Amino acid sequence: MRKEIISNPLFRTIFTRLGLGFVTLFAVSLIIFAAIAVLPGDFAKATLGRAATPETVANFQKSLGLDRPVAERYLKWIGGAVTGDLGLSFSSGSGTPRTVGSIIGPRLKNTLFLAGITALVAIPIALLLGIIAAIRRNSWLDRILNAVTLASISFPEFFVAYVLMLLLAVKLPLFYSLARVTPSMGSIEVLERIALPVLTLSFGIIAHMMRMTRAAIIGLLSHPYIEMAKLKGVPPWRVILRHALPNAWAPIVAVIAFNLAYLIVGVVVVEVVFVYPGIGQAMVDAVRSRDIPVVQGCALIFAASYILLNLLADVIAIATNPRLAHPR
């Protein structure tokens, strides 16, 4: 039994892919860490300003642990990162330590909330539109959807954001133009506030997801068994729901995972436009003030979720490939 699992190409491919994913994760953490350790530029001096004496610089470096050897610092950093401790921000004063975790933590929750709501809104719409476009291929509806999605993919996010803000918050005062949320707000109020960011993010992600769903379904509809069902006289909606869709879930789930990875990046600009206190905005602020530990912490979170979601998409695609499931 055990031997069978090992020799099964399906499991072998999945394990290889998982292994590769974790190697990538390790390498990426090395790259992000190396950003501070290897490259030139004395951040202690840059942070403390020109007036810093050698003693204050040494003290500052010691308080941040910058005087230890590189390998030791990496192990400490990655070990801490796994348990949620990402070190001290450069913005911490001598007597008032500010951990990266305390800066990022609440914002990460906000970002996950925004991304989660967007996914809930965007995924059903995108799948529905994708399936409709695939069924009505080359119809006027398909062409309009194709043109609209092509345009929305090529628009910069801040353009979409400001157009929506102008139309739906200023000209027609339906939504709040800025998504300022505080922890004391109830969830209904928060939902009202983040309506426009969700709409902006959905706009881009629906376009991507719809096009990929359409392509996946069209690929599926060219199979002989679909032709057979049609020739038997099965009505079109039944061909889609009963014959095509069960086999389409695999590519569709892969499409969803891939687009959630895409959502992670889209969140940065949208958070800045709507002044939403999320991790993307925290990262941009940290880059501006060159607060490297915060940049590293945010980058690690972004990169890790990106890699894991892509890994998930790959594993799902492999696991549902019938050619691998039934070895000869």
User: Token pair of 286, please?
Assistant: 């940290």
DSSP secondary structure letter of residue 8: -
Contact stretch for another protein (CB under 8 A) within 53-61, 80-88, 191-199, 286-294: 286-294
DSSP 99: B
Structure tokens of 158? 């801040």
Contact 261, 310 (CB under 8 A): yes
Cβ of residue 35: shortest distance to another protein, in angstroms? 5
- Asked if 283 interacts with another protein (CB under 8 A), we say yes
How many other CB atoms sit within 10 Å of the CB of residue 126?
Answer: 26
Query: If you search the block for the tokens 């879930």, which residue do you land on?
Result: 249
Under rule CB under 8 A, which residues in 177-216 are in contact with another protein? Answer: 177
Please report the beta strands in 43-153, taking only residues with DSSP state E, as ranges in sequence order. none
User: Among 208, 110, 113, 203, which Cα is nearest to 159's?
Assistant: 203
Give Cβ neighbours of residue 303 (< 8 Å, ≥ 6 apart).
Answer: 28, 29, 32
Nearest approach, Cβ of 17 to another protein (angstroms)?
13
268 binding another protein? (CB under 8 A): yes
Stretch that binds another protein, among 104-112, 229-237, 249-257, 301-309 (CB under 8 A): 301-309
Q: In the numeric block, which tokens belong to residue 243?
A: 């014959």
Among 302, 264, 303, 300, CA closest to 114 = 264
Minimum CB separation from another protein for residue 235, in Å? 34
The footprint of another protein on residues 3-32 (CB under 8 A) is: 24, 27-28, 31-32
CA atoms in the 13 A half-sphere facing the CB of 261: 18
Length of the chain: 328
Q: What letter does residue 183 receive in the DSSP assignment?
A: T
Binding residue (CB under 8 A) for another protein from 269, 315, 316, 318: 269
Which window, 76-84, 148-156, 182-190, 316-324, contacts another protein (CB under 8 A)? 148-156
- Window contacting another protein (CB under 8 A); options: 3-11, 146-154, 184-192, 199-207: 146-154
313 binds another protein (CB under 8 A): no
**150 — phi, psi (to 5°)?**
-60, -45
* Residue of 6, 39, 51, 82 interacting with another protein (CB under 8 A): 39
Scanning 74-82, 233-241, 245-253, 268-276 for contacts with another protein by CB under 8 A, the matching segment is 268-276
> Which residues contact another protein (rule: CB under 8 A)?
24, 27-28, 31-32, 35-36, 39, 41, 150-151, 153-159, 162-163, 165-166, 169-171, 177, 261, 264-265, 268-269, 272-273, 283-284, 286-288, 290, 292, 295-296, 298-299, 302-303, 306-307
